[in-house]
């Protein structure tokens, strides 16, 4: 420091202590150097001027002067800095070195710490909020007290800006406003269902994280519903602008109070201002109580109408007029929102065959049904064939889709005849895998529980026996709604039956009133369809009357009207009327065994049919054999005629056949059920049924056999989709074959099992193969039989029935010994090796797999070689030799890439990912597993997707990202609970249990680990059992039951030694050592630790 | 809650800073310069992300920034108390450089932009012509530093990072009273330098 500056400083320090008027003289006395004196004078002047640059710090400091008064460490946490304060607390940013994570600590402010009531409220807040675990709620971790008696809550640190900060720069884009509102509503729904109100929803209490979830902060004045109201002045607790009318009136708050506040927030996000901004407090309160907010559109003209009405409904003065639940709001927001972006469910699908034409004359029914659907969750549309039930149900689902945030699904039951098939059909439509039809109901309920979904069951009449299933669904999945179309009602409780009336037809006396006729729905439909068939068709005074009469004759049945209208290319309406009238008159004398309307429809179809050329008639009849439509190629093969294209065009033109598009993206042709029934009738009458059915089956068995080798090649997705499109036809074909042609049945089974495997029809497939085997096993040559048995074994294994799978495979291997079909031997050896490995017979398995490897190379079957590598890789994994496993899986991966087997690539990658994780290479794991998940999701292979998700979960677990881990594993678990290999389900449960354990929630983990162990025990999964028991043991220890912990861990050690799974063994030993340490048995603990280390070192050396 | 760094997860930066911090324990001018460079790069990246993201009327939060940066470093590396003091000194210097560069840049562009100053009670005060003043302040601070290194450090901590007097006292091993006194003095001198106050004797 320079001496001059030192002098200046010292003078300044002293001068500033003096009264201003004395400083000058004092300085003159003290300092002789005028330049120094001048400088000090200037500094004093600058100091007195006050406001200068340095007085307005360049920073915003949220730190109040007492920021660091609270100690640096609180419990396990290091305090970083104060980040905010409010009436009920001071919040600090803190850091938890144990978990390496940031968090927020909220302290009761010192002035309130002394008050018992405030303290109690603080605890209440913690108790209330700690039960909430939701992505849109800022999580509470912990409640505690510091050494000096300060109470604090530890909660997630949300690194983002508050919505209030965000809104400073103006309103949000509409999509984003919807997104934020919907997420806040989700959070509220969770809280409300736990009985907790927030009561202080405002923009400053919502954190918006860029690109991800919005989070509700600070359930600061939350209280338990029904609890004594501890927040006495509750009327004033919400921030003024967000207060609901009932809060101002000091009435009790309810869910609707939070809805109101969210309404204000939503308004604010859309308009950039709050709805009740007034110059003073009194005016704000009055406005909230009495005035309507200015319309959203005034500030946001482009806001969609539905959104405006959502805001209006949220800001209804009367709480009862608002949304009754946050879930309803979520549905309203996300449903509407989704309809613009992506719709869940298949209802909007372009492939839906029945909606290619416009929808005429049902506005009234639609409006009526929408309101029925709000009140009743099971709605049956009844009516005779051809009244348009199906179409109405689809339009209803579309119109109501906004109310069903989790999707609307259309399930056609037309092709089914067995009531037991209904639940599997629903499962299939909503996209879950169900191995056993018997489990389907449970699986569907699991999948739909708590879901706001709408299921349309179309053509229920022929599976009416399934009414109890529908009833069970509706009562157990208590958020879903079901719309059924059926000729008869279900007659179950809670059903609302709605007889679909035919279209309005004119009465006799209106026949001369053109205005009435023109507005009549049936006439409108006729005209519209007629114009579609013949664009030049127009309504004149002359033909109007004929059209109206025609509609009357056809009883206003839409299907019949449509069939007739398609014929305007041949007949004028007048001529048509004449011909049809003649027929009906004829019929009047006939037996009245059918209701009149059904006769009308039948006559319309039959009339339309008779107008076809003979060749077209033959084609029409033949097409009736297809259960769920067919591709052009299939039509051609089965009909076996010329001029197919012309014929199909004629049938489509006459509305007898509809053209759609399949999953595989190819054109398909389908018939409405009532038309198809007529076609079959004609087929029978022409004595052609037997022949047509045979050629139908022959076509499909060849088709399945063509598909079979493709299912493991580069086009597997396309072929799987194709088989899926024709699944009903294939089922029908196989079923016919079983009773007519055993060889053909065997061929079906041998060709289809891989499709069943890939698309998760495990138990259905296994059951069919068993049935075929017992009925027809003797019939075919050995090659097909062996292939069938091999498929059976694979399905058995995938179901988790490993012991039976092993028996079948051993029998097969025996059969094949000495066979010259090396290819097949390799396949069987591979499968047997795999199953033996699963059953932990690693020595036997390795021998078999090595034989398979050698044989596969001899026959140059790259796929089989890849499989052998896969199996050897798994054996290495089971033995804990992860580096060796990586090498083997990478060999396999290379081959899979050469073949282009997507599924195989993804599988091998996932395995390498898992092994990488086990040797501590999380980044390789991360990259591989992410890529595999993408691939598997694209292929739609749920079995492997579940495995990949499980590996992803393990990865998150290693990284201590518990929420992400839980999310991945839950996704995996859902896929597995619904179907497939129970062994991976058990793995998922064990991993989930570990997540809970690491999050210090052993109580939640315990049942999961127990279930996991039970499954492994049942299926003989020794490796997994060792793992599950380790988790179970650690959980027992965490719960303080050291004896149980010891016995579980000992059993786990025993199992792992028997395999031997060296890696797992050391893990279990270390865990047991920790338990001994807890029990104070230091010597045992140390000995175990030492032994485990020795084993691990030995392993490492062996690997090197 | 204040805005933290949006994506300060720039591991390369962090690793480099950590390595240099640990090396700088042994002193050495060269290490120290490189350390400033690395901290500067790290903070600037985060600061720029914030400046880009934020609209007019929003302030940068250097306090949060520096704390976050420290937090990240301390969780990634085994840093001791000395490292902490060291880090804050370096970070304050870096922060000053960032803010001044920004002011200089805007001043040059004559966008009419200005730092929005924020007082302790959170009210924002628009300070006219503040950019030019900041540039003047920067060179005055250099001159002050030549006479009194500790005073410069206090100004950097207080003005550019926004640390409280207590925190500064802790970091520099001084009493709060001393920090307060030194601050008043330095502020008076700097004001005099920047505004060229000529008071009549």
Question: Any residues with CB less than 8 A from the CB of B149 and at least 6 apart, and which?
Answer: A1
Of residues A46, A59, A161, nearest to B188 (C-beta): A46
N residues, chain B = 201
- Quick check: B199 and A52 CB within 8 A? no
CA-wise closest residue to A560 among A586, A528, A516, A598: A598
Q: Please report the DSSP string for A516-577 in residue order.
A: HHHH-HHHHHHHHHHHHH-TT----HHHHHHHHHHHHHTTT-HHHHHHHHGGGGT--HHHHH
pLDDT at A780 (0 to 100): 66
Residue predicted with more confidence, A390 or A252: A390
In B, residues 65-124, which contact A (CB 8 Å cutoff)?
67, 71, 75, 99, 115, 117-120, 122
- Quick check: B127 and A53 CB within 8 A? yes
- Quick check: A47 and B134 CB within 8 A? no
pLDDT at A730 over 90: yes
Ranges A207-211, A525-529, A755-759, B104-108: which has the least confidence: B104-108
Maximum average pLDDT range among A858-872, A1050-1064, B61-75: A858-872
- Quick check: A45 and B199 CB within 8 A? yes
Of residues B119, B146, B184, nearest to A56 (C-beta): B119
Taking CA–CA distances from B70, the nearest residue in chain A reads: A80
The residue-averaged pLDDT of A137-160 equals 73
With beta carbons under 8 A apart, name residues in chain B contacting A12.
185, 188
Peptide bond into A1060 cis (omega under 30): yes
A163-200 confidence digits (pLDDT tens): 888 888 888 888 788 888 988 988 888 788 777 777 77
A624-656 confidence digits (pLDDT tens): 999 888 988 899 889 877 778 888 888 888 878
A587-627 confidence digits (pLDDT tens): 444 444 445 556 677 888 888 898 888 989 999 999 999 98
A273-325 confidence digits (pLDDT tens): 889 887 766 677 778 888 888 888 888 887 877 788 889 889 988 888 888 77
A45-95 confidence digits (pLDDT tens): 877 765 566 765 554 322 222 333 455 667 777 777 777 665 556 777 787
Of residues A37, A54, A61, nearest to B191 (C-beta): A54
pLDDT at A53 (0 to 100): 65
pLDDT at A593 (0 to 100): 45
Residue with tokens 């604010």: A268
- Pairing type for strands A151-156 and A140-145 reads antiparallel
Tell me if chain A has a CB within 8 Å of the CB of B157.
Answer: no
Which tokens in the block code for residue A307?
Answer: 């959104």
pLDDT at B34 (0 to 100): 66
pTM of the model: 0.47
Tell me if chain A has a CB within 8 Å of the CB of B155.
Answer: yes
For A147, what's the count of Cα atoms within 13 Å in the CB-facing half-sphere?
8
Active site residue A200: yes
pLDDT at A673 (0 to 100): 75
Residue A1104 binned pLDDT confidence (cut-offs 50, 70, 90): low
DSSP reduced 3-state for A695: helix
With beta carbons under 8 A apart, name residues in chain B contacting A3.
none
Ranges A102-116, A225-239, A345-359, A566-580: which has the least confidence: A225-239
pLDDT at A282 (0 to 100): 67
pLDDT at A508 (0 to 100): 72
- Give the ipTM: 0.72
Of residues A58, A95, A97, nearest to B99 (C-beta): A58
Residue B114 CB coordination number (10 Å): 19
The residue-averaged pLDDT of A1029-1055 equals 93
A343-396 confidence digits (pLDDT tens): 355 655 433 444 445 567 787 888 888 888 888 899 999 877 778 888 888 888
- Quick check: A169 and B57 CB within 8 A? yes
With beta carbons under 8 A apart, name residues in chain A contacting B128.
none
With beta carbons under 8 A apart, name residues in chain B contacting A42.
192, 197-199
pLDDT at A114 over 70: no
d(CA A474, CA A451): 12
What's chain A's average pLDDT?
Answer: 80
For A213, what's the count of Cα atoms within 13 Å in the CB-facing half-sphere?
15
pLDDT at A621 (0 to 100): 93
Residue predicted with more confidence, A197 or A977: A197
Share of chain A above pLDDT 70, in %: 85
Give the gap in angstroms from C-alpha B106 to the nearest C-alpha of chain A.
15
d(CA A120, CA A101): 28
Q: Residues A872, A878, A881, CA angle at the centre, nearest 5°? A: 75
pLDDT at B57 over 60: no
Q: Are B158 and A57 in contact (CB under 8 A)?
A: yes
The residue-averaged pLDDT of A329-353 equals 50
Q: Residues B67, B70, B75, CA angle at the centre, nearest 5°? A: 125
The residue-averaged pLDDT of A958-972 equals 83
A790-805 confidence digits (pLDDT tens): 889 988 887 778 888 9
N residues, chain A = 1104
Residue predicted with more confidence, A721 or A111: A721
The residue-averaged pLDDT of B89-101 equals 75
The residue-averaged pLDDT of B101-106 equals 67
Residue B129 binned pLDDT confidence (cut-offs 50, 70, 90): very low
* SS3 assignment for A120-173: HHHHHHHHHHHCCCCCCECCEEEEEECCCCCEEEEEECCCCEEHHHHHCCCCCC
Question: Any residues with CB less than 8 A from the CB of A455 and at least 6 apart, and which?
Answer: A408, A409, A411, A426, A429, A430, A448, A473, A480, A481, A482, A483
A755-792 confidence digits (pLDDT tens): 988 877 777 888 889 998 888 777 767 778 888 888 89
DSSP reduced 3-state for A247: helix
With beta carbons under 8 A apart, name residues in chain B contacting A57.
117-120, 158-159, 162
A715-728 confidence digits (pLDDT tens): 888 888 889 889 88
Residue predicted with more confidence, A999 or A356: A999
- Quick check: B201 and A56 CB within 8 A? no
Q: Are A993 and A1031 in contact (CB under 8 A)?
A: yes
Measuring CA to CA, how many Å separate A1073 from each of A36, A958, A1050, A1091, A1093? 75, 21, 11, 10, 11
pLDDT at A617 (0 to 100): 92
- Quick check: B75 and A58 CB within 8 A? no
Give the gap in angstroms from C-alpha B43 to the nearest C-alpha of chain A.
15
Residue predicted with more confidence, A144 or A261: A261
pLDDT at A1044 (0 to 100): 94
A200-238 confidence digits (pLDDT tens): 788 888 888 765 678 887 765 444 333 333 333 333 334
Give the gap in angstroms from C-alpha A136 to the nearest C-alpha of chain B.
16
Ranges A612-621, A731-740, A755-764, B27-36: which has the least confidence: B27-36
């Amino acid at each position: 420091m320079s001496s001059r500056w030192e002098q200046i400083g010292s003078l300044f320090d002293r001068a500033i202590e003096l009264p201003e008027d004395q400083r000058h003289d004092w300085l003159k006395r003290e300092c002789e150097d005028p330049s120094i004196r001048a400088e000090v004078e200037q500094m004093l002047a600058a100091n007195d001027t006050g406001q200068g640059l340095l007085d307005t710090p360049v920073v915003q400091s949220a730190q109040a002067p007492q920021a660091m008064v609270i100690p640096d460490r609180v419990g396990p946490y290091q305090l970083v800095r104060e980040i905010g304060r409010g009436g009920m607390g001071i919040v600090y940013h803190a850091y938890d070195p144990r978990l390496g994570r940031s968090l927020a600590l909220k302290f009761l402010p010192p002035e309130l710490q002394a008050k018992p009531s405030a303290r109690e409220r603080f605890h209440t807040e913690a108790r209330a909020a700690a039960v909430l675990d939701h992505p849109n709620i800022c999580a509470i971790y912990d409640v505690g007290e510091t050494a000096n008696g300060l109470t604090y809550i530890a909660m997630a640190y949300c690194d983002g800006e508050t919505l209030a900060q965000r809104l400073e720069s103006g309103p949000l884009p509409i999509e984003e406003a919807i997104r934020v509102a919907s997420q806040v509503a989700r959070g509220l729904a969770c809280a409300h269902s736990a009985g907790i109100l927030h009561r202080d929803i405002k923009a400053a209490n919502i954190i918006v994280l860029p690109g991800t979830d919005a989070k509700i902060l600070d359930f600061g004045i939350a209280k338990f519903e029904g609890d004594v109201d501890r927040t006495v002045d509750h009327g004033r607790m919400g921030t003024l602008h967000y207060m609901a009318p009932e809060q101002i009136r000091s009435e009790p708050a309810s869910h609707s109070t939070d809805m109101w506040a969210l309404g204000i927030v939503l308004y604010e996000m859309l308009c950039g201002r709050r709805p009740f901004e007034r110059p003073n407090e009194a005016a704000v309160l009055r406005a909230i109580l009495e005035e309507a907010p200015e319309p959203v559109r005034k500030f946001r003209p482009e806001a969609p109408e539905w959104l405006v009405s959502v805001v209006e409904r949220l800001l209804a003065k009367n709480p009862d007029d608002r949304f009754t639940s946050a879930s309803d709001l979520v549905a309203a927001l996300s449903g509407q929102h989704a309809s613009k972006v992506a719709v869940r469910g298949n209802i909007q699908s372009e492939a839906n065959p029945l909606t290619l034409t416009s929808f005429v004359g049902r506005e009234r029914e639609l409006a009526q049904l929408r309101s029925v659907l709000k009140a009743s969750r099971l709605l049956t549309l009844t009516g005779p064939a051809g009244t348009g039930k199906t179409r109405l149900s689809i339009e209803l689902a579309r119109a109501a889709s906004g109310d069903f945030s989790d999707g609307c699904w259309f399930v056609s039951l037309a092709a089914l005849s067995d009531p037991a098939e209904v639940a599997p059909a629903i499962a299939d439509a909503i996209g879950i895998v169900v191995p056993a039809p018997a489990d389907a109901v449970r699986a569907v309920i699991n999948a739909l529980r708590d879901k706001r979904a709408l299921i349309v069951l179309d053509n229920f009449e022929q599976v009416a026996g399934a009414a109890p299933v529908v009833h069970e669904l509706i009562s157990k999945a208590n958020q879903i709604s079901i719309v059924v179309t059926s000729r008869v009602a279900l007659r179950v409780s809670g059903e609302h039956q709605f007889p679909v009336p035919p279209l309005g037809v004119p009465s006799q006396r209106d026949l001369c009133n053109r205005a009435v006729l023109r507005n009549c729905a049936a006439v409108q439909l006729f005209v519209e369809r007629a114009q579609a068939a013949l664009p030049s068709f127009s309504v004149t005074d002359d033909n109007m009357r004929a059209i109206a009469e025609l509609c009357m004759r056809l009883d206003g049945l839409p299907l019949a009207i449509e069939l007739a209208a398609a014929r305007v290319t041949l007949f004028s309406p007048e001529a048509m009327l004449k011909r049809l009238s003649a027929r009906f008159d004829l019929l009047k004398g006939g037996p009245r065994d059918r209701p009149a309307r059904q006769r009308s429809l039948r006559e319309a179809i039959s009339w339309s049919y008779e107008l076809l050329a003979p060749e077209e008639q033959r084609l029409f009849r033949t097409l009736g054999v297809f259960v769920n439509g067919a591709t052009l190629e299939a039509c051609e093969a089965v009909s076996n005629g010329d001029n197919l294209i012309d014929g199909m065009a004629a049938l489509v033109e006459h509305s007898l056949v509809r053209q759609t598009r399949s999953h595989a993206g190819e054109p398909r042709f389908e018939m409405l059920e009532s038309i198809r029934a007529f076609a079959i009738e004609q087929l029978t009458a022409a004595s052609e049924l037997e022949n047509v059915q045979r050629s139908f089956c022959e076509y499909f068995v060849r088709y399945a056999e063509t598909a079979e080798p493709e299912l493991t090649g580069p086009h597997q997705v396309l072929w799987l989709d194709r088989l899926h499109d024709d699944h009903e036809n294939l089922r029908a074909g196989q079923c016919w074959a079983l009773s007519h042609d055993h060889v053909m049945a065997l061929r079906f089974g041998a060709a289809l099992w891989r499709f069943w495997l890939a698309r998760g029809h495990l138990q259905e497939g296994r059951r069919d193969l068993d049935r075929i085997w017992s009925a027809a096993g003797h019939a075919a040559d050995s090659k097909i039989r062996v292939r069938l048995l091999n498929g059976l074994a694979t399905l058995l294994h995938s179901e988790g029935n490993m012991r039976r799978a092993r028996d079948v495979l051993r029998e097969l291997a025996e059969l094949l010994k000495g066979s010259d079909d090396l290819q097949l031997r390799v396949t069987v050896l591979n499968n047997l090796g795999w199953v033996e490995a699963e059953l932990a017979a690693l020595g036997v398995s390795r021998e078999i797999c090595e034989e398979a490897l050698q044989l596969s190379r001899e026959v140059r079957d790259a796929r089989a070689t890849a499989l052998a590598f896969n199996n050897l890789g798994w054996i290495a994994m089971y033995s804990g030799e992860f580096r060796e496993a990586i090498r083997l899986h990478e060999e396999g991966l290379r081959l899979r890439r050469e073949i282009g087997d997507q599924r195989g690539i993804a599988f091998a990658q996932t395995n390498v990912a898992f092994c990488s994780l086990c040797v501590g290479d999380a980044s390789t794991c991360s990259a591989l597993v992410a890529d595999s998940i993408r691939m598997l999701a694209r292929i739609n292979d749920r079995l492997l997707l579940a495995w990949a998700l499980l590996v992803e979960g393990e990865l998150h677990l290693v990284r201590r990202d518990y929420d992400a881990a839980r999310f991945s594993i839950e996704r995996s678990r859902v896929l597995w609970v619904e179907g497939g290999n129970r062994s991976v389900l058990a793995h998922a449960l064990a991993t989930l249990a570990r997540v809970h354990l690491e999050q210090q929630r052993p109580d939640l983990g315990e049942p999961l680990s127990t279930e996991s162990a039970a499954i492994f025990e049942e299926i003989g999964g020794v490796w997994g059992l060792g793992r599950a028991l380790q988790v179970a043991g650690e959980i027992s220890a965490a719960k303080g039951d050291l004896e149980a912990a010891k016995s579980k861990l000992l059993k786990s050690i025993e199992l792992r030694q028997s395999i031997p799974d060296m890696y797992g063994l050391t893990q279990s030993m270390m865990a047991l050592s920790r338990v001994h340490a807890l029990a104070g048995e230091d010597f045992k603990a140390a000995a175990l630790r030492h032994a485990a280390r020795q084993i691990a070192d030995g392993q490492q050396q062996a690997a090197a | 809650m204040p805005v933290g760094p949006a994506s300060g997860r720039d591991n390369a930066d962090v690793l480099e800073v950590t390595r240099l911090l640990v090396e700088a324990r042994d002193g050495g001018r060269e290490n120290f310069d490189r350390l400033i460079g690395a901290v500067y790069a790290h903070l600037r990246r985060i600061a720029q992300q914030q400046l880009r993201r934020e609209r007019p009327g929003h302030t940068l939060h250097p306090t949060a920034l520096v704390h976050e940066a420290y937090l990240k470093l301390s969780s990634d590396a085994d840093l001791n108390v000395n490292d902490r003091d060291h880090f804050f000194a370096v970070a304050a210097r870096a922060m000053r450089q960032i803010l001044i560069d920004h002011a200089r840049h805007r001043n040059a562009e004559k966008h009419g932009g200005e730092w929005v100053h924020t007082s302790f009670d959170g009210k924002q005060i628009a300070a006219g012509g503040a950019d030019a003043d900041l540039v003047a302040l920067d060179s005055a601070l250099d001159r002050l530093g030549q006479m009194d290194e500790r005073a410069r450090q206090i100004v950097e901590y207080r003005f550019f990072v926004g640390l409280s007097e207590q925190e500064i006292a802790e970091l520099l091993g001084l009493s709060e009273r001393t920090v307060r006194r030194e601050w008043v003095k330095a502020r008076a001198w700097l004001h005099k330098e920047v505004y060229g106050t000529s008071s009549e004797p």
